[in-house]
Amino acid sequence: MSKPLKQIHLAAHFPGVNNTTVWSDPAAGSHIEFSSFAHFARTAERAKFDFLFLAEGLRLREQGGQIYDLDVVGRPDTFTVLAALAAVTDRLGLTGTINSTFNEPYEVARQFASLDHLSGGRSAWNVVTSWDAFTGENFRRGGFLPQDERYSRAKEFLATAHELFDSWSGDEILADRATGTFLRDARAGAFVHQGRHFDIHGRFNVPRSPQGRPVIFQAGDSEEGREFAAAGADAIFSRYSHLEEGRAFYADVKGRLAKYGRRPDQLLILPAATFVLGDTDAEAAELAREVRRQQVSGATALKHLEFVWNRDLSGYDPEGPLPDIDPLVSEEHISRGRAQVRMYRDPVAIAREWRELAEANKWSIRDLVINNGNRQTFVGAPATVARTINEFVQADASDGFILVPHITPGGLDPFADKVVPLLQEQGVFRADYEGTTLREHLGLAHPDAAAPAERAAS
């Protein structure tokens, strides 16, 4: 007995402000002009993707006390560009990363509810938290939450936003000219929230939007992050794009749903994935090597080594051996505004491991950075990539992917033109949109429909 094939979900991540994005390629266009965003969104919609995804960072990154200048720098305001993209697309979901530390629930709820209205039900919110006083320097509320308060605030922020979304049930606007009744209920939008982080009350002023609430994404990977997602998120933007680790993560998170009265299909797992296509697998592999060299210049290699060494390594030759001095272990980090550096929990051990790896392979600093953790997720001819993606999803390593092209804005086009038709032929990806809202694309119930079941289960 074979189980029915899972349908794959695909999304497009606008190339971001890190070295995955190759700005030096002659094909690379503007990262800020609206025409680039419109091109990218239209390609994703032509390919029937579920949604477009935008990341966010609220302070320009610094390294060694200076603004980091080797990657793309600068991006638009998330809400504003998504609202404009709603005008040039019809079905594509619009997912924005919005920070719960440097915003207030009333304002963010208004913005998402407005975006949902203005896009006809296509909005999604990737809820992220921040921890640093560095970013906080840009905000009147200031920065800085102790590490252990981040999720506590994020949870309460999201719960409060949900209370605001739910403060209108959807049938309040009567607009009956004859009786002069605009609102059926004078108290529409009334809310009271008293908690540790937010103590607010009053009336929310955006009526219920087509999706009820935006689709909720979560991106954190910690134990707390996984529970946060299992308790209430609709999708996870994960980093596990390799088969075995993907299956482990998938099983772990889906396994946490039952205790919240939720079914496995109520939380989608969507890892980020990069890709390089060629006419043949061999050609693609060669292209992928070239792309990695473009992504890691000598200067970039030294800067990436500094993430671990936490020292100024500008005196080293990127074509030479790794430094024999040890990393500086300190609360102060040479790199600021970059979440990645927190992953290196034992830098001295990592440095030792990397030195051994470089010596064994006769790698320079640049070779090491190119070869270490920088490989594209899918490399091959279109048929190979389509097959690999499908196998991955059918093996329950994910429910689909959020693809991150390395060229702006045209990097998604070859995937749309060559890989998507193959997935459609295999019957694992939609040939056309069936619904109009992002919830419908993702197979998620409307919150009003889901609510009775959830109440019954709890």
Partner 1 sequence: MSSATSSTRPDPHSHLHLAVALDGTGWHPASWREPVARPDELFTAGYWADQVAEAERGLLDFVTIEDGLGPQSAHPLEPDDRTDQVRGRLDAVLVASRVAPLTRHIGLVPTVVATHTEPFHISKAIATLDYVSTGRAGLRVRITARPDEADHFGRRRVDRIEAYDSPDAQGLLTDLFDEAADYVEVVRRLWDSWEDDAEIRDRATGRFVDRDKLHYIDFEGRFFSVKGPSITPRPPQGQPLVSALAHDTVPYRLLARGADIGYVTPRDAAHARAIVAEIRAEQQSAGRAGETLHVFGDLLVLLDDSRGEAEARRARLDALAGEPYTGDAPIFTGTAAQLADLLEELAGAGLTGFRLRPAVAGHDLPRISRDLVPELQRRGRFRTAYEADTLRGLLGLARPANRYAAAAATAV
Q: How far is the CB of 186 from partner 1 (least distance, A)?
A: 4
Q: Can you name the residues that pair with 63 across neighbouring β-strands? A: 66, 335
Cα dist from 417 to 111, 181, 214, 397, 428, whole Å: 34, 52, 30, 25, 16
Query: Per the structure block, which two tokens stand in for 41?
Result: 């969104």
- The whole-angstrom separation of Cα 134 and Cα 63 is 12
Neighbours of 112 (CB within 10 A): 27
Q: How far is the CB of 245 from partner 1 (least distance, A)?
A: 32
Listed residue (34, 67, 51, 372) closest to 235, CA to CA: 51
Structure-token match 């279109």, residue found: 382
- The whole-angstrom separation of Cα 124 and Cα 140 is 26
By the rule CB under 8 A, 124 interacts with partner 1: no
By the rule CB under 8 A, 167 interacts with partner 1: no
- The whole-angstrom separation of Cα 336 and Cα 313 is 16
Residue number with CB closer to partner 1 (21 or 310): 21
By the rule CB under 8 A, 424 interacts with partner 1: no
By the rule CB under 8 A, 177 interacts with partner 1: yes
Q: Which stretch binds partner 1 (CB under 8 A): 178-186, 211-219, 237-245, 380-388?
A: 178-186
Q: Which stretch binds partner 1 (CB under 8 A): 4-12, 58-66, 368-376, 416-424?
A: 58-66
Q: How far is the CB of 411 from partner 1 (least distance, A)?
A: 17
The site string for partner 1 over 298-337 (x = CB under 8 A, - otherwise) reads xxx-------------------------------------
Q: How far is the CB of 423 from partner 1 (least distance, A)?
A: 30
Q: If residue 182 lies in a helix (H) or strand (E), which one and from where to where?
A: strand 181-183
By the rule CB under 8 A, 87 interacts with partner 1: yes
Q: Which residues contact 402 (CB under 8 A, 6 or more apart)?
A: 11, 12, 13, 53, 237, 270, 271, 272, 273
By the rule CB under 8 A, 104 interacts with partner 1: yes
The DSSP code for 30 is -
Q: Which stretch binds partner 1 (CB under 8 A): 108-116, 392-400, 409-417, 421-429?
A: 108-116
| Given 75, 256, 375, 446, the residue binding partner 1 (CB under 8 A) | 75
| Given 4, 74, 146, 315, the residue binding partner 1 (CB under 8 A) | 74
Q: Which stretch binds partner 1 (CB under 8 A): 5-13, 33-41, 232-240, 338-346?
A: 33-41
- The whole-angstrom separation of Cα 155 and Cα 232 is 9
Residue number with CB closer to partner 1 (185 or 353): 185
Q: How far is the CB of 146 from partner 1 (least distance, A)?
A: 19
Does the annotation flag 151 for ligand binding?
yes
The DSSP code for 418 is I
Does the annotation flag 280 for ligand binding?
no
Q: How far is the CB of 261 from partner 1 (least distance, A)?
A: 31
Query: Per the structure block, which two tokens stand in for 48?
Result: 């029937």
E strands, 240-373, where?
A: 268-273, 275-277, 335-336
CB 53 within 8 A of CB 402: yes
Q: Is residue 192 helix, strand or coil?
A: strand
Q: Which stretch binds partner 1 (CB under 8 A): 139-147, 264-272, 339-347, 444-452?
A: 139-147
Residue number with CB closer to partner 1 (4 or 74): 74
Residue number with CB closer to partner 1 (207 or 447): 207
| Given 10, 52, 94, 115, the residue binding partner 1 (CB under 8 A) | 115
By the rule CB under 8 A, 38 interacts with partner 1: yes
Q: Which stretch binds partner 1 (CB under 8 A): 7-15, 133-141, 245-253, 347-355?
A: 133-141
| Given 8, 12, 54, 81, the residue binding partner 1 (CB under 8 A) | 81
Total of residues contacting partner 1 (CB under 8 A):
77
Q: How far is the CB of 37 from partner 1 (least distance, A)?
A: 8
By the rule CB under 8 A, 140 interacts with partner 1: yes
Identify whether 409 is preceded by a cis peptide bond (ω within 30 of 0): yes
- The whole-angstrom separation of Cα 380 and Cα 395 is 20
CB-count exposure of residue 42 (10 Å: 0-12, 13-18, 19+):
middle
Q: Which stretch binds partner 1 (CB under 8 A): 1-9, 111-119, 151-159, 366-374?
A: 111-119
With b for 16 or more beta-carbon neighbours within 10 A and e for fewer, the 94-110 pattern comes to: bbbbbbbbbbebbebbb
Q: How far is the CB of 270 from partner 1 (least distance, A)?
A: 25
CB 12 within 8 A of CB 405: yes
Q: 179-238: which residues touch partner 1 (CB under 8 A)?
A: 180-189, 198-207, 209
Residues annotated within a binding site:
97, 151, 222
Residues annotated within a binding site for FMN:
97, 151, 222
